[in-house]
Homo-oligomer: A and B are copies of this chain.
Amino acid sequence: MSAPPYEGETYAVVTAFVDELVRSDIAGAVVSPGSRSTPVALALARRDDVRLFVHPDERSAAYFALGLAKATGRPAVVLCTSGTAAANYLPAVAEAQTGRVPLVVLTADRPPELRDVAAAQTIDQVRLFAGHAKWSVDLPPPAPLEAVARQARVVADRAVALAAAAPQGPVHVNVPVREPLVPMPQAAPPGTGGAAWQGRGGAGPYARIARPPVQVSPAAARGAAAELAGPRGLVVLGPEAADGPDRQRTRARAAVALAARLGWPVVADVLSAARGLPGVIGRADALVRDPLVADALVPARVLRLGAPPTSKALGQLLERVPEDGLWLVDDGDAFPDPSLRARTVVHADAAAWLAAVAAALPAPGGAGADAWLRRWQLADAAAGEALAACLADEPYGCEGRVMAELGRVLPAGACLFVGNSMPVRDADAFFAARGRGVRVVGSRGASGIDGITSTALGLAAGSGRPCVLAVGDLSFYHDLNGLIAAGRFGVPLTVVVVNNDGGGIFSFLPQARHGEQFERLWGTPLGLDFAHAARLYGASFARPRDWPGFAAAVRSGLRRRALAIVEVRALDRTENVRRHDAAFAAVAGAVRRAWASDGGSGA
């Protein structure tokens, strides 16, 4: 990089900081308009080697960055001006921390002398995100000191490295900026020619921050293998950390390989990379809802990875694992078990640990393991057939069948982003696109209903793959502002809005029995016609009337390579609950028949 013109200390320091960010491996930068952030924004805009997105709503912008990071596993940068703009980032920052998504959050700030003296657009931004960020640093005010330039570069390197290190998460750099906020070319002071100001030669960072891969010691792996091995075991893969598709696949394959050594089935959440791998159980949620079927599937030992499973029924099954039987593996230092029953939590690189333990085990075999495995596989196959048959009869508007239809319609290599509340649960129960490599992504860190559309748009922008978002109407309303990204950045997305006119999930909860206050407090009928939202944001809009129409609308949306909204008017909420229950009853019957005809393998 040739020396840029010296434009005053603010620009010199900020340009060094941005140079270092861009030399690191970032997924892109999402900038919201503002005054105080001008130097950082301009330094980013001058680079042609970073994807820059200018998003006018900071809340949505941060979620868009979250999606960029989820697509790639690389840190995305967000930048906003001072004041409440920065406060709008907190929801996405909290999701990034709980969901382990790498973000580098930049907030422009007033310099110290303008803090806490009622200057406009000024709030206390020092450690604004408190414990929700992995690291918080307040850059010093710009000054023509070499140490300040060195710090700008080192902080940028550390921020990107730390955001990307397992467990991934958000880091916060608060950037105080003094006026003038625009470049003021002037004579460069002595000593601004070195690496602190101009960066190291070549494309490398100023400071390399390395985290070499580690191996689990063979002795430790042998110990774990010896303790873990045994009959009636289960490997459970929950929702994935956002460290990118490659690492997700590696981890999933390592888990499947270890399970094969143990002779155990693998149960995979819809948000894990193992769903769809050969032999992996994908119907656990439907299977274990029936008490008798569940009784036959209670494992004696469990190895669980990732976040807690989406399926509540599966979670309840895991609560029946004997004391001492539940193992967790966590890439960070968490205890991700709300049941507080785990006996062993392994804090290690999951892929490395799984491979080491597998290597310490003999090749699989043994009749006992086969029977247990066969019980799960028969059940899974029977459940799959029963669900397919059930769903094929479901009338238009059945929420479960929306997921089944998407499983048929999505092309190979597509991404499906599922919103929280009902869509992720319905996807876990009903979505299947075996063998076509459809990547299913969600936001299960804090599992909020906010920011979903923006995250999906970021995922679409970052992955470059055909993307469909399945989202409820309440969640879709919450992030309508996020739709502006599609047109501004030319990001194609097909949004399937499952409209049950409010908080459908509450129909499944005891709140539904409080009819008097139910609609008022939880039903939340919005009464919005999203066709107008589609017009506002230049989207195509379809409200199909039957399943063929739905499939055609989704296909047409994907072909359009722009923003498309497909609204499904869901069945009446009570009817929806009844349909779900009927499907699960059919699964239970089919599983019992399959086991009976196999000589009582479920006994």
Instruction: Say which one of A197-205, A368-376, A517-525 lies at the interface with B.
Output: A517-525
The 8 A CB mask of A470-494 against B (1 = contact, 0 = none) is: 0000100110110010010000000
**B478 to A57, Cβ gap below 8 A?**
yes
List chain B residues, Cβ under 8 A from A130: 124, 127-128, 130
**A45 to B503, Cβ gap below 8 A?**
no
23 contacts between A and B (CB under 8 A): A33-B502, A33-B521, A33-B522, A38-B521, A42-B521, A46-B517, A56-B526, A83-B448, A84-B90, A84-B92, A84-B94, A87-B91, A88-B91, A98-B122, A118-B307, A120-B446, A121-B446, A124-B131, A128-B130, A181-B510, A182-B514, A535-B535, A536-B536
**A38 to B511, Cβ gap below 8 A?**
yes
**A35 to B509, Cβ gap below 8 A?**
yes
Tell me the nearest residue of chain B to A524, going by C-beta: B33
Question: Known: A45-B520, A337-B118. Is A35-B511 also a contact (CB below 8 A)?
Answer: yes
A79 CB, min distance to chain B CBs, angstroms: 10
CA distance A337 to B117 in the complex (A): 5
Q: Which of A95-134 contact B (CB under 8 A)?
A: 95, 97-98, 113-114, 116-124, 127-128, 130-132
Q: Does A59 contact B (CB under 8 A)?
A: yes
List chain B residues, Cβ under 8 A from A113: 340
A425 CB, min distance to chain B CBs, angstroms: 11
A46 CB, min distance to chain B CBs, angstroms: 8
**B477 to A117, Cβ gap below 8 A?**
no
Q: Does A192 contact B (CB under 8 A)?
A: no
List chain B residues, Cβ under 8 A from A464: none
Q: Does A257 contact B (CB under 8 A)?
A: no
Q: Does A533 contact B (CB under 8 A)?
A: yes
**B94 to A56, Cβ gap below 8 A?**
no
Question: Known: A337-B118, A446-B84, A521-B41. Is A480-B477 also a contact (CB below 8 A)?
Answer: no
Q: Does A450 contact B (CB under 8 A)?
A: yes
Q: Does A527 contact B (CB under 8 A)?
A: yes
List chain B residues, Cβ under 8 A from A117: 334-338, 340
Q: Which of A221-262 contact B (CB under 8 A)?
A: none
Q: Does A547 contact B (CB under 8 A)?
A: no
**B57 to A477, Cβ gap below 8 A?**
yes
The 8 A CB mask of A426-455 against B (1 = contact, 0 = none) is: 000000000000000000101110110000
**A123 to B446, Cβ gap below 8 A?**
yes
Size class of the A contact interface (CB-based, 8 Å)? 35 or more
**A526 to B484, Cβ gap below 8 A?**
yes
List chain B residues, Cβ under 8 A from A520: 45, 54
**B94 to A511, Cβ gap below 8 A?**
no
The 8 A CB mask of A316-345 against B (1 = contact, 0 = none) is: 000000000000000000111110100000
Question: Known: A182-B514, A335-B116. Is A448-B35 also a contact (CB below 8 A)?
Answer: no
Tell me the nearest residue of chain B to A238, going by C-beta: B118
Q: Which of A35, A41, A528, A536 has the most CB of B within 10 A?
A: A536
CA distance A502 to B32 in the complex (A): 12
Q: Which of A166-184 contact B (CB under 8 A)?
A: 180-182
**B83 to A447, Cβ gap below 8 A?**
yes
The 8 A CB mask of A495-512 against B (1 = contact, 0 = none) is: 000000011011001110
Question: Known: A84-B450, A532-B536, A533-B532. Is A59-B56 also a contact (CB below 8 A)?
Answer: no
**A527 to B487, Cβ gap below 8 A?**
yes
Q: Does A347 contact B (CB under 8 A)?
A: no
Q: Does A31 contact B (CB under 8 A)?
A: yes
**With A84-B94, A122-B446, A529-B536 already in contact, 10 other A-B pairs whose C-beta atoms are closer than 8 Å:** A35-B505, A42-B514, A87-B93, A88-B91, A118-B336, A128-B130, A181-B511, A477-B484, A532-B535, A535-B535
Q: Does A85 contact B (CB under 8 A)?
A: yes
List chain B residues, Cβ under 8 A from A559: none
CA distance A533 to B98 in the complex (A): 34
**A88 to B116, Cβ gap below 8 A?**
no
Q: Does A513 contact B (CB under 8 A)?
A: yes
Tell me the nearest residue of chain B to A179, going by C-beta: B510
List chain B residues, Cβ under 8 A from A450: 58, 84-85, 88
Q: Which of A456-470 contact B (CB under 8 A)?
A: none
Question: Known: A118-B334, A520-B54. Is A87-B84 also a contact (CB below 8 A)?
Answer: no
A125 CB, min distance to chain B CBs, angstroms: 9
List chain B residues, Cβ under 8 A from A276: none
CA distance A56 to B522 in the complex (A): 10
List chain B residues, Cβ under 8 A from A59: 59, 88
List chain B residues, Cβ under 8 A from A87: 90-91, 93-94, 132
**A94 to B119, Cβ gap below 8 A?**
no
